[in-house]
Structure 1
Amino acid sequence: MKTAALIPARLNSTRLPLKLIQDLGGKSVIQRTYLSTLETGLFDSVWVVTDSDEIKEQIEDLGGLVFRSKKEHESGSDRIAEALEQVEADVIVNVQGDEPIQDKTTLQNLISAFEDEQVEMASLKCQLAPQDADNPNYVKVITAANQDAVYFSRAKIPYDRDGNGVQYWKHIGVYGYRREALIRFTQADKSSLEDIEKLEQLRAFDLGIKIKMVETSFQAVAIDTEADLEKVRKLYFYK
Structure 2
Amino acid sequence: MMKVIGVIPARYKSSRFPGKPLADICGKSMVWWVYNEAKKVSMFDEVIVATESQIIVDACQKLGMNVMMTSDKHLTGTDRVAEVAQKIEAELYVIIMGDEPLISAADMERLILSISEAEDADAIMLTEQFRQPIDAVNATTIKLAINARGYLIFMSRSVIPYPKEALGYELYKNVGCYALRKEALDFFLQTKPGNIERAEGIELLRLLENHRKVLTVEIDSESMAVDTQKDLERIQRVIGQRLE
Q: TM-score, normalised by structure 2?
A: 0.89
User: 1:211 aligns to what?
Assistant: 214
Of 166-175 and 106-115, more deviation after overlay is shown by 166-175
| CA displacement at 1:22 relative to structure 2 | 2.2
Contact 1:120–1:177 (CA under 8 A) maintained in structure 2: yes
- Would the alpha carbon gap of residues 95 and 130 (structure 1) be closer, same or farther in structure 2, given more than 3 Å must change? closer
Q: What are the equivalent positions in structure 2 for 1:84-233 lying under 5 Å apart?
A: 84-115=85-116, 116-129=118-131, 131-132=133-134, 133-233=136-236
The Cα offsets for residues 106-134 of structure 1, whole Å up to 9 and x where unpaired, read as 11111112222222100121112584434
Using the alignment, how far apart are the partners of 1:128 and 1:26 within structure 2? 30
Aligned mates of 2:199, 2:12 — CA distance in 1 = 27
Distance 2:51 2:84 in 1: 10
**In 2, Cα distance between equivalents of 1:160 and 1:44:** 44
Aligned-pair distance for 1:2? 1.0
Aligned in 2, Cα 1:193/1:94: closer, same or farther, shift over 3 Å?
same
Question: Residues 113, 71 of structure 1: CA spacing in aligned structure 2 closer, same or farther, 3 A cutoff?
Answer: same
Instruction: Supply the AA of the counterpart residue of 1:189.
Output: K
- The equivalent of 1:77 in structure 2 is 78
CA distance in 1, matches of 2:167, 2:12: 46
Cα–Cα, structure 1 residues 172 and 102, in superposed 2: closer, same or farther, change >3 Å? closer
Q: Match of 1:67, as an amino acid?
A: M
Deviates more, 1:76-85 or 1:93-102: 93-102
Q: Counterpart in 2 of 1:45?
A: 46
| Contact map agreement 2:125 2:216 (CA 8 A) in 1 | yes
**Letter of the aligned partner of 2:120 in structure 1?**
Q
Distance of 2:137 and 2:13 partners within structure 1:
29
Partners of 1:130 and 1:20 in 2: CA distance = 25
1:16 maps to what in 2? Answer: 17
**Could you say what secondary structure the match of 1:41 adopts?**
coil
The residue identity in structure 1 corresponding to 2:56 is: I
Query: Which has the higher mean CA deviation after the structures are superposed, 93-102 or 122-131?
Result: 122-131
Cα distance change on mapping 1:166 and 1:92 into 2, 3 Å? same
Say whether the 8 Å CA contact 2:151–2:213 is kept in structure 1: yes
- Give me the whole-angstrom Cα distance separating, in 1, the residues matched to 2:71 and 2:19: 20
* Cα RMSD, aligned residues only: 1.9
Q: For residues 238 and 18 of structure 2, what CA distance do their matches in structure 1 show? A: 22
Mean Cα displacement is larger for which, 181-190 or 152-161? 152-161
Decide which moves more: 119-128 or 58-67.
58-67
How many pairs were matched up?
A: 239
